[in-house]
Chains A and B, each alone.
Chain A
Amino acid sequence: FLSLNSNLDPLTETYGIPFYLQYLAHWPEYFIVAEAPGGELMGYIMGKAEGSVAREEWHGHVTALSVAPEFRRLGLAAKLMEMLEEISERKGGFFVDLFVRVSNQVAVNMYKQLGYSVYRTVIEYYSASNGEPDEDAYDMRKALSRDTEKKSIIPLPHPVRPEDIE
């Protein structure tokens, strides 16, 4: 399960080991790894369940989704997302959400194709290094079956600041 692999892809964030361990300790079911027949790591998804049930905010969250460059264009990301949605369904979540860089048009489009829509914009969510400006994020959501009226995905009219999100 815990594999030592070299993720040197510049587009993918590599998190610290504590970060992965934290997710594995808390939401082990939300950590899914895909392996190729030759043993290569094709991709992984990592997420969590959070939010208040009473306020109908209990949901699945996609923390990281990554597919190795040579295994792109195979629909693997969609498959992994589908699995995460399935787990969130089972947990009785109202929706699944994720954050994505506003500039990452490829990802935004992919998530739209998978049924996600922009719920709100979070200003300067991604803090930049080396002097470049901070970047905004889209908070994208997809309603699950429990949210029959799809209330959770009605877009907010105004952007929010990172400190205002839970």
Chain B
Amino acid sequence: MAIQQADKLLKKHKDLHCAKVLKAIGMQRTGKQDEAFNLAQEVATLEPTDDNSLQALTILYREMHRPELVTKLYEAAVRKVPLSEEYHSHLFMAYARVGDYKKMQQAGMALYKIVPKNPYYFWSVMSLVMQAISAQDEKLAQTMFLPLAERMVEKMVKEEKIEAEAEVQLYFMILERLGKCVEALNMVRGPLGEKLTSELQSRENKCMMMYQRLQLWPECNALSYKLLLKNPDDWQFYLSYFDSLFHLMDMSWSPSEEGQHCVEGHVTTTVAEAVKFVVDRMAEEDKKDSRPLRGPYMACLELIHRLRQRGCPDDKELGDPLELMVQFFGKFGDKPCCITDLKIYLHLLPPEQHTQFRNRLEELVPLGEAGEDGFRFPGDTKALQRHLCVCQLSRALGLQHALDTEGKLSLIAQLKAHYHHGLRFRKSCLKTELQFSDMYCLMAAHVYIDLWTENGDENMLWQCLGLLEEGLSFSPSNAQFKLLLLLLFCRLGAFQPVVDLYSSLDAKHVQHDTIGYLLTRYAGSLGQFAAASQSCNFSLRFFHSNQKDTSEYIIQAYKYGAFEKIPEFIAFRTRLNQSLHFAQVRTERMLLDLYTEADITLSLEESVKAMGVCAEEEDIPWDNMRDNRDLTVLVSWDPKDRELTEEHRRLSLEEESVWLKVRSLTLRLLASLALLGHAPSPRNSDKTNENGVTTKSSTLQNLLSQLDQTLQTAARITEKQTKYPFLGPPSSRLASALSSGSCHCQASALRLSLTLQELETAGLDDSSELQSQICNTFKSIVVQLQEMLSRCKGEVLEMKDRRLKTQPSLLETLVFFLETVCVVLWVASYSANVLRPLKSSLQKKKKKKKDTCTPVVLCGFQEWTSGLQGVVTQALDHVKAQEAQLTTLKLAALTLEEGDQQTQECGFTRVAMDKVQSSYLGSLQELGDLLRKRADSLKSLKI
């Protein structure tokens, strides 16, 4: 429609630029990329100067992701209309969009010369700062860009032209980056600092920052003191207050005889004074009628912690941590944050006090009379919260973990009873509202998991799933229930229910980066390829839009003078671009496409081309990889020694990176294999082509040796057998990939393509050694595949003694087997391409010579394909048998629990079991389908 309208206009006015561009936009949006581009370029080369055309072209180029063309456009426009403020400003923004800071600096100055407005001048200054930030060479930043920026601002200061707060902030940024803290401090304290009014405590915060950088501990201490008097709940200032106090003590600082301690006022120099300060703050809170603040009470525990760290005996002055924590519980025990607050200070209690502590807390929980089942329940939600907090604390103290199996089972019974009892407190039946007692349910689930992981009793896991399903039925919006269910189903190898759970979490935007890992780790590995591809797409869509969006807001930040935000926005964008998860989904998505499509709907070569995979280059920032995963998204009250550590994080990132490397190398190897297949035979080509082939084979060679190295590293990593906390990151696929044998089989198949290339050059006549080498590899690949297949044998799901038993690892191995079959078949197809012309030229010769002997490699190939056919057929039979076995498995025959009371719970457990069963079936079906397609393509492999 828009295109037609534009055409109509163009008929009347042949050269109306704007109409052409609008038409181009129409074309772009209807998918005619190339035509749109050509039409736009037609207008652009005329260097239009009317606003409409320029704006329309800007929109078009932005949609085409060609922001660099916008700069060209406005460069021409300002050349023709040199005094236009508007075009100059568009030019500046165009440079900002591509991040050309140097040009931005010039454009800003040019603007200021036409229209001497302060913002333009400071755009230019900020662009200098950005050049400094982005400079590879820190020296250049420190000796050139920043000093120049400083001088530019100083000039304005001298001429008394500083107007806006933003300008002062920028000045501060420059001084700070130059390390000129004294100057920065004087500036903030001086008349310019008076402009810093928008942000709360802006001056104080900036001063504090500089005091800390300059190690001006007296000032730092006095300012913290002052700010704490004003707001005794501002935690950061307790930290700086204590920090500075200890620094002062270490340097035995004392105030000069007369007058003030320092510009900021009174300085605390002794522990006794600090103790008194904290005690006074608590006393103030105690006196208040309104609700007390947590800050002072936590500060008291923090001070004890720090004094103990220093081996200072004065911590006694503050009281016994046990009493203080009991007191804290008395005041804040009915708040959900009580556990989070106290958890950090539990280490102040010696182990022998743990039980005593719990008992003391229990005394403070008002519970009703014991009922028939012996449990005492809270009468309202505040009492419930207190009781829950005691449970959480005893878990965090390790008291739950110390129980034996029987103890844990009765704990579960107790938690479940409290959970069910607490359901009565729900006020509304809004779907979005959570139950007050949900956390009991979650904790019971954790104890079930403890039992499962300790004793390997899978029954505990099924009951856990049932309980969580029940919880979800009462609280359909509880994200923690969903996350834990999601994790458990993944561990069970059942991906189908996971898809729904994840989408019901309604993860948005950045969450695809922070929690997407929960999904993508298991998606492909469990044989649910369609779902896997979909989950990669969730994440990819977010990453791609981020790249585009951020630039626009960087430009806005310039417009509004939010200079401090510009480096933050850029750092944020970089952080997302360098995300481990982003690189993973990018790679996995392409591999998935190849495994499911290549040589089925499209040839390998076409697929590789369509994806734009490049064998020579890669776009993964190995050295700057950012781990944005939120590894603590699942709530845990585990004691410190069972929590996720920094070391875990490091190992997990290492493991994931190596696995990503393996995957990315596999992808690139496949890309170069696809190119090899296309290379013209060197026999009938000239030298340049031969060179072409050599480059390709050297790429292949290079990638193969990288793969070997990576696999060696991988072996070293998996030897460590790192175990992460259950609620932490899942282990990568690395270990199972190695033990399944898939990595090595794939590597030897890919290596074969190199040998085949040699054969292609050598010909069939004098290459018997090469040929027998190739034949041996053929045989060995079949043997390897056979071995892999034998590792897949077994029952994924079976009933033993009326109990359900799963072996999800079989599914994972089967997926590796399938992936390897794909790789082998692509190599086989390449082999056929190499051997076919050799064979036909041989046949021509044969006719002349009447030679009856067939070269070894040709027979070998025939044997190979039939060998492969055999393995694939066996695999298909295995999958079929598994499917049949699963379908006949009647879960209804299982007895789950004795007694009638549990029937409802059993119902939920059955639901979970059905989900697992049907997911396994789905995986097997998808795997079977793909195997069948691969088997068909194998049939057509003839030479």
Question: Is A135's CB within 8 Å of the partner chain B?
Answer: no
Q: Do B337 and A36 have beta carbons less than 8 Å apart? A: yes
Kindly state whether residue A131 has any CB partner on chain B within 8 Å: no
- Say whether A4 contacts B630, CB under 8 Å: yes
Supposing A37-B235, A71-B336, A75-B291 touch, asked if A29 and B553 sit within 8 A by C-beta, the answer is no
Among the 9-residue stretches A10-18, A110-118, A144-152, A154-162, the one with 4 or more Cβ atoms under 8 Å from chain B is: A10-18
Q: Does B514 contact A (CB under 8 A)?
A: yes
CB <8 Å contact, A69 and B562: no
Q: Select which of A7, A10, A38, A79 is within 8 A of B477 by beta carbon.
A: A10
Q: Which of B317-325, B340-348, B397-405, B900-908 participates in binding chain A?
A: B340-348
Chain B contacts for A87, CB-based, 8 A: 198-200
Give the CA-CA distance A6 to B200 in the complex, in Å.
27
Decide if B549 is an interface residue (CB 8 Å cutoff): yes
* Contact A38–B508 (Cβ < 8 Å): no
How many residues of B are in contact with the other chain, CB < 8 A?
57
Q: What chain B residues lie within 8 Å of A90 (beta carbons)?
A: 197-198
Distance in angstroms from A86 CB to nearest chain B CB is 6
B556 touches A22 (CB 8 A): yes
Does A54 sit within 8 A of B, measured CB to CB?
no
B284-336 contacts to A, CB under 8 A, are 291, 294, 298, 302, 334-336
A10 lies within 8 A of B550 (CB): no
Residue among B340, B431, B513 with the most chain A CB within 10 A?
A: B340
Q: Is A52 an interface residue (CB 8 A)?
A: no
**B565 in contact with A28 (CB, 8 Å):** yes
Asked if B341 and A25 make an inter-chain contact with CB atoms under 8 angstroms apart, the answer reads: no
Report how far A71 CA is from B340 CA in the complex, Å. Answer: 9
Which of chain B's residues 558-572 have a Cβ closer than 8 Å to chain A? 559-560, 562, 564-565, 568-569, 572
Whether the Cβ atoms of A21 and B197 lie closer than 8 Å is no
* Candidates B294, B337, B557, B628; contact of A4 at CB < 8 Å: B628
A65-B144 Cα distance, complex, nearest whole Å:
43
Residues of A within 8 A of B339 (CB): 70
Contact of B515 among A6, A11, A75, A79 (CB under 8 A): A6
| CB-defined contacts of A21 to chain B, threshold 8 Å | 549-550, 553, 556, 569
Q: How far is the CB of B172 from chain A (nearest CB, A)?
A: 14
Give Cα distance in the complex from A32 to B431, angstroms.
30
**Is the C-beta of A9 less than 8 angstroms from some C-beta in chain B?**
yes
Give per-residue flags for A70-107: 1 if the beta carbon is below 8 A from chain B beta carbons, else 0: 11111100010001001100110000000000000000
B569–A17 touching, CB < 8 Å: no
| A98 → chain B closest CB, angstroms | 19
B546: interface (CB < 8 Å): yes
Establish whether residues B630 and A25, one from each chain, have CB atoms under 8 Å apart when the complex forms: no
Question: Does B15 reach chain A (CB closer than 8 Å)?
Answer: no
Smallest CB-CB separation from A84: which chain B residue?
B200
Q: How many Å from the CB of A78 to the closest CB on chain B?
A: 10
Contacts of B198 in A (CB 8 A): 28-29, 87, 90-91
Whether a CB of chain A sits under 8 angstroms from the CB of B881 is no
Q: Assuming the A-B contacts A4-B628, A25-B556, are A71 and B337 also in contact, with contact meaning beta carbons closer than 8 angstroms in the complex?
A: yes
Contact (A73, B336) CB under 8 Å given A17-B546, A18-B549, A24-B569 = yes
Residues of chain B within 8 A (CB-CB) of A10 are: 431-432, 477, 479, 506
Shortest distance from the beta carbon of B552 to any chain A beta carbon, whole Å: 7
Known: A29-B198, A74-B337, A87-B198. A6 touches B553 (CB 8 A): no
Which chain A positions have C-beta within 8 A of B433? 11
Cα–Cα, bound, A68→B556 (Å): 30
**Does any Cβ of B come within 8 Å of A127's Cβ?**
no
Q: For residue B533, give the distance in angstroms from its CB to the closest CB of chain A.
A: 24
Known A-B contacts A1-B568, A10-B432, A22-B556; the reply to A36 vs B340 at CB < 8 A is yes
Collect the chain B residues with CB atoms within 8 Å of residue A4's CB.
510, 513-514, 575, 628, 630
Specify which chain B residues have a CB less than 8 angstroms from the CB of A26 in the assembled complex.
556, 560, 562
Given contacts A14-B508, A25-B562, whether A74 and B557 have CB atoms under 8 Å apart is no
A37 vs B432: C-alpha distance when bound (angstroms): 29
8 Å CB interface, A13-54 against B: 14-18, 21-22, 24-29, 32, 35-38, 40, 42
How far, in Å, is A89 (CB) from chain B's closest CB?
11
A: interface residue count bin: 35 or more
Determine whether B633 belongs to the interface, using a CB cutoff of 8 Å to chain A. Answer: yes
Given A24-B562, A38-B340, A90-B197, also A5-B553 (CB < 8 A)? no
Interchain CB contact (< 8 A) of A24 among B340, B511, B565: B565
Asked whether B434 is an interface residue with its Cβ less than 8 Å from the other chain, the reply is yes
CB distance from B62 to the nearest CB of A (A): 14
Q: Are A69 and B549 in contact (CB under 8 A)?
A: no
Q: Closest CB-CB distance, B278 to chain A, in whole Å?
A: 14
CA separation between A24 and B337, bound complex, in Å?
A: 29
A2 on the interface (CB 8 Å rule)? yes
* Closest CB in chain A relative to B239 CB, distance in Å: 9
Point out the residue from B233, B479, B514, B554 that lies within 8 Å of A9, measured CB to CB.
B479
Minimum CB–CB distance for B11 against chain A, Å: 37
- A8 interfacial contact with B, CB 8 Å: yes
Chain B CB within 10 Å, residue with most, of A6, A38, A42, A83: A6
Q: Are A37 and B200 in contact (CB under 8 A)?
A: no
Q: When the two chains form the complex, which single residue of A25, A29, A37 contacts B298, counting CB atoms closer than 8 Å?
A: A37
Shortest Cβ distance from residue B660 to the other chain A in the assembled complex, whole angstroms: 20
Is B509 at the interface (CB under 8 A from chain A)?
yes
Please report the C-alpha to C-alpha distance between residue A116 and residue B828 in the assembled complex, in whole angstroms: 75
> Separation in Å of the A7 CB from the closest CB of chain B?
8
Known: A18-B552, A36-B340. A8 touches B291 (CB 8 A): no
Tell me, in angstroms, the Cα distance from A1 to B515 when the chains sit together: 20
Q: How far is the CA of A73 from the CA of B291 in the complex (A)?
A: 10
* Smallest CB separation, B245 vs chain A (Å): 18
| Residue from B513, B557, B564, B575 having most chain A Cβ neighbours under 10 A | B557
List chain A residues, Cβ under 8 A from B283: none
Contact A70 B336 (CB under 8 A): yes
Residue from B432, B505, B508 in contact with A16 in the complex, judged by beta carbons closer than 8 Å: B508
Closest-CB distance, B208 to chain A (whole angstroms): 16
Contact B341 A37 (CB under 8 A): yes
A17 contacts across to B, CB distance below 8 A: 509-510, 546, 549-550
Option from A7, A73, A91 in Cβ contact (under 8 Å) with B335: A73
A29 pairs with B199, CB closer than 8 A:
yes
Q: Which residues of A contact B479 (CB under 8 A)?
A: 8-10
> Nearest residue in A to B382 (C-beta to C-beta)?
A73
A37 in complex: contacting residue of B344, B546, B572, CB < 8 Å: B344
Residue of A nearest to B299 (CB): A37
Q: B339's closest neighbor in chain A, by CB? A: A70
Contacts of A36 in B (CB 8 A): 235, 337, 340-341
A16 to B559, CA, bound (A): 21
Q: How far is the CA of A5 from the CA of B630 in the complex (A)?
A: 8
What's the nearest-Cβ distance from chain B to residue A120, in Å? 26
Q: Are B340 and A40 in contact (CB under 8 A)?
A: yes
Interface bits A121-141 vs B (CB < 8 Å: 1, else 0):
000000000000000000000
B336 & A69 in contact (Cβ 8 Å cutoff): yes
B14 to chain A, nearest CB (A): 40
Q: Digitize B533-549: 1 where CB-to-A-CB distance is under 8 Å, 0 elsewhere.
A: 00000000000001001
What are 28 A-B contacts with C-beta separation under 8 Å? A1-B568, A2-B572, A4-B510, A4-B575, A6-B630, A7-B511, A8-B483, A8-B506, A10-B506, A11-B433, A16-B509, A17-B510, A21-B553, A24-B569, A25-B553, A25-B556, A25-B557, A25-B560, A32-B200, A37-B341, A69-B336, A70-B337, A70-B340, A71-B337, A73-B336, A74-B294, A74-B335, A90-B197
Seed contacts A14-B511, A70-B336, A79-B233; 20 additional CB < 8 Å A-B pairs = A4-B628, A5-B514, A6-B515, A8-B483, A8-B505, A25-B553, A25-B554, A25-B565, A26-B556, A28-B562, A29-B198, A36-B341, A37-B298, A37-B341, A70-B337, A74-B291, A87-B198, A87-B200, A90-B197, A91-B198
The 8 A-B residue pairs whose C-beta atoms are closest, nearest first, are A21-B553, A8-B479, A10-B477, A29-B198, A25-B556, A25-B557, A70-B336, A10-B432
Point out residues on A near B: beta carbons under 8 Å.
1-2, 4-11, 14-18, 21-22, 24-29, 32, 35-38, 40, 42, 69-75, 79, 83, 86-87, 90-91
